[in-house]
Amino acid sequence: MRPRLFALLFAAAAAAPLPAQERAPAPLIVNPRGRDVVSLDGRWHTIVDPYETGYYDYRLRPSANGWFRNQKSKSATDLVEYDFAASPELAVPADWNTQRPDLMLYEGAVWYQRTFVHPLAPGRRLFVWFGGANYQTRVWLNGVELGMHEGGFTPFDFEITSRLRRDAPNDLVVEVDARRRLDAVPMVNADWWNYGGITRSVLLVETPAAFVRDYVVQLDSRDPRHIAGYVQLDGGSAGVPVQLRIPEAKLSMTVRADANGRAALTLDASKLARWSPGSPKLYDVQVIAGGDTIRDRIGFRTIEARGHQIFLNGKPIFLRGIAMHEESLGSSHRIRDDGEQRALFSLAKELGANFVRLAHYPYREETPRLADEVGLIVWEELPVYWTIQFDNPATLANAKNQLEEMITRDRNRASIAFWSVANETPRDTAPGGGPRLAFLRALIDRAHALDHTRLVTAALEHRYADPNTILIDDPLGAYLDVLGNNEYLGWYDQPLAKTERITWKSAYDKPLVMSELGGAAKAGLHGSADSLWTEEYQERLYRAQVAMLARIPFLAGVSPWVLKDFRSPRRPLPVLQDYFNRKGLVSDSGQKKKAFYVLQQWYRTLAADSSASPATR
């Protein structure tokens, strides 16, 4: 939080209505890489600004030299107290914490600057697109503010057509502020590293005057013999012909956009092969409208919940999963490229997983695309984590916006089966619910409205009905399609022997995914199976958990916590933690712990008899 004096100084500026250029950006350009783009990834000049001098000096005194103007001294008496050209560089995309030792614990503002030249032809449009920046981002082009985005994990873009200097250098300045706030999503308390910076790619996206901004091409959940979706055009597009083509399947249709630039799609899908983890079939898909062509690779499948089971393509499936963080093996930084993510997915596949929980926030746009390719079902999650200001309308609006950006970005990905709206949020004290239930119900309703082809879930907490009975009866469960539940019997909830006598019950006739379970071990630390932190104790814990899980009749899947050790400031214990959460089945450097093989063996057994319920084994 800012010091009291700082808050008082700028209270008036902060309370003033946002000027027009700071309103929420227009709807996202979906799949920017589906057309020709120019990458702005690389080395950017940076200035660390813990007091936000470069921004607030200008807000207090508009005549002041705001850093976004990137001005130079014109004479020996012209005072300019910053210089991007002489300042250090940081890589984009990447977090700043692991690029420089002095920034490892830094949470504040950093300014990024680079120039580019783009010769835009008449009649064409240009956008600058950010895959993600943590947490609050302001963007200027040639000294003009384009807008602000809040949220550390979802994309945003701004049109720069009218601001572009054609065939001349353009000055792009970005301020990224990673400070945690009580009213933010997530708020100040989290169990992962608050990686700051422009952590996802930055692209220049060029389009025709009328272009495809958004599209949905998925099986109709009410009649999966057909594709149902739409194409949304932008820019004087009424009556424009819109064509959908799937060349391999010899499928094609043409419709015209309505007065709002929207074209409804319906196409026979009876001959399309269904996507699954065992057969991750993808089709090249083209969306063509006027002079715009978008290319994508899309899989087609159905996912539904009936009773205590989850059905993929009409057949019951047990989700053999693992949870993970978006953090690389080895150097433990925010994942920057496909190779780093592919390494984690390879470990998950080696474990025997057909399912991954991407906790606790949206990952890179490329990650669910990789899951499409390698055959992993995905749980994608909104960072509504632990305690949020559930009674704050601004916080709800923020959460809804992040949810909308996540779903808009990823709803053509076959791998994504679940939208998760929360993790471990404490239930309201009032028996009938309160602000938390109303907050999360609003998110559930919005998720269903945006996408009826997937299941909505959340990682809940349970309670003990009696010393030997765990009951899942969170009122939120009534509104979810699939129940998630986090439990740590044998670790936070000791003793480990409790797993032998516990009975699980649910107030809902719905499938349960045990979204977290496990305990910590320092890789290479060996000793008694009764001693915490040893690989032997973690191994014993997993054996006990497997035996207990097999007795839960409504269990439809598991995603133990967690694939690999990850950085967390909440874990300071010397030698054993050293600011890492050690619950990984694999160490941060990639060393497999003994518990890895326990879970691997169970998953191999489940895979060998996929038709049986775990409760019967």
pLDDT at residue 18 in the model:
30
Asked whether residue 220 falls in the same domain as residue 201, the answer is no
294 with 405, same domain: the answer is no
Domain range enclosing 283: 211-301
Provide mean pLDDT across the span 10-36: 56
Specify the CATH number for the domain of residue 576: 3.20.20.80
Q: What is the CATH number of the domain that holds 100?
A: 2.60.120.260
What helix, strand, coil percent values describe the chain, rounded to 5?
Answer: 25, 30, 45
| Location of structure tokens 């300045």 | 173
Give, in degrees to the nearest 5, the angle at Cα 437 between 435 and 439: 65
Does residue 259 sit in the same domain as residue 349?
no
> Same domain, yes or no, for 252 and 395?
no
DSSP designation for 197: B
Residue 568: strand, helix, or coil: coil
Average pLDDT of the residues in 532-542: 98
User: What are the pLDDT digits (tens) for 230-278?
Assistant: 999 999 778 999 999 999 999 999 999 999 999 999 999 999 999 999 9
- Burial class of residue 255 (count of CB atoms within 10 Å of its CB; 0-12, 13-18, 19+): middle
- 480-536 tens-digit pLDDT: 999 999 999 999 999 999 999 999 999 999 999 999 999 999 999 999 999 999 999
Average pLDDT along the chain: 93
pLDDT of 55 reads: 84
Q: What is the per-residue pLDDT for 254? A: 97
Domain edge (last residue) among 163, 189, 208 = 208
Worst-scoring range by mean pLDDT, 26-35, 129-138, 373-382, 566-575?
Answer: 26-35
Domain check: are 16 and 47 in the same one?
yes
Residue 158 and residue 145 share a domain: yes
Cα 116 to Cα 42, 165, 553, 572, distances in angstroms: 12, 10, 59, 43
Instruction: Name the residue among 147, 153, 109, 103 with its Cα closest to residue 131.
Output: 153
- For 319-343, the pLDDT digits (tens) are 999 999 999 999 999 999 999 999 9
Domain finish residue from 268, 301, 334: 301
Quick one: pLDDT band at residue 59, thresholds 50, 70, 90? low
Q: How many domains does the chain have?
A: 3
Tokens 């808009």 correspond to: 408
Q: Which positions ≥6 away from 298 have C-beta within 8 Å?
A: 217, 218, 282, 283, 285, 412, 414
Q: Are 283 and 257 in contact (CB under 8 A)?
A: no
CATH of the domain at 255: 2.60.40.10
Query: What count of other Cβ atoms lies within 10 Å of the Cβ of residue 468?
Result: 10
pLDDT band with cut points at 50, 70 and 90 for residue 3: very low
Same structural domain, 366 and 377: yes
Last residue of a domain, one of 248, 282, 301: 301
Residues 277 and 317 both lie in one domain: no
Residues 178 and 289 in one domain: no
**What average pLDDT score do residues 44-53 get?**
96
Among 615, 595, 91, 559, CA closest to 336: 91
Model confidence at 2: pLDDT above 60: no
Kindly tell me the sign of the dihedral angle through the C-alpha atoms of 588, 594, 597, 598: negative
Query: 178 pLDDT exceeds 70?
Result: yes
Mark whether 200 and 237 lie in a shared domain: no
In this structure, are 592 and 527 located in the same domain? Answer: yes
Judgement on whether residues 105 and 187 belong to the same structural domain of the protein: yes
Q: Indicate if the pLDDT at residue 368 is higher than 70.
A: yes
Check whether 22 has a pLDDT greater than 50.
no
Local structure of residue 535 (DSSP, 8 states): H
Q: What is the mean pLDDT of residues 604-616?
A: 69
End-to-end CA distance of the chain: 53
Residue 208 near residue 245, CB atoms below 8 Å: no
Q: What percent of the chain has pLDDT over 90?
A: 87
- Residue 63's pLDDT is 60
